[in-house]
Amino acid sequence: MANLATPGRWLRHKKNGTIYPWNPHLVENAAVEEVPEELAFPERFLPVTQKGRKARVDLGTDEVSVATAAKPARATPAALAADARKGLK
């Protein structure tokens, strides 16, 4: 299938906002409009001065708390069997 798209030209569906590459067959459809690349892909054209948002939650980890935290004992098959026998008595 031949690619009839023209680089740098984009079409946007008026109702659902889907972006399509420019195509002469789609241009004839009344439900699509031609838009520049800046509107089709705004994430590619972010201003340099725009900064990300700061986190509202402190995501840091207290290393002392992690080191002193009790680690759960690993259940062995023998320990599981003993617990099962205690439950049957």
- Measured between alpha carbons, how far is 15 from 30 in angstroms, rounded to an integer? 11
CB 25 within 8 A of CB 11: no
Q: Of 36, 30, 32, 31, which is closest to residue 6 (Cα–Cα)?
A: 36
Q: Which residue has the higher pLDDT, 37 or 6?
A: 37
pLDDT in tens, 49-75: 877 778 788 878 888 887 887 776 777
> What sections of the chain are H helices per DSSP?
24-27, 37-40, 63-68, 77-88
Report the percent of the chain where pLDDT is more than 70: 89
Q: What is the mean pLDDT of the chain?
A: 82
Residue 18 clears pLDDT 50, i.e. is over it: yes
Q: Which residue has the higher pLDDT, 59 or 26?
A: 26
Q: State residue 1's pLDDT score.
A: 45
Secondary structure letter of residue 56 according to DSSP: S
- What global pTM score does this model have? 0.49
**Residue in this structure with the two tokens 């031949």, named with its chain if needed:** 2
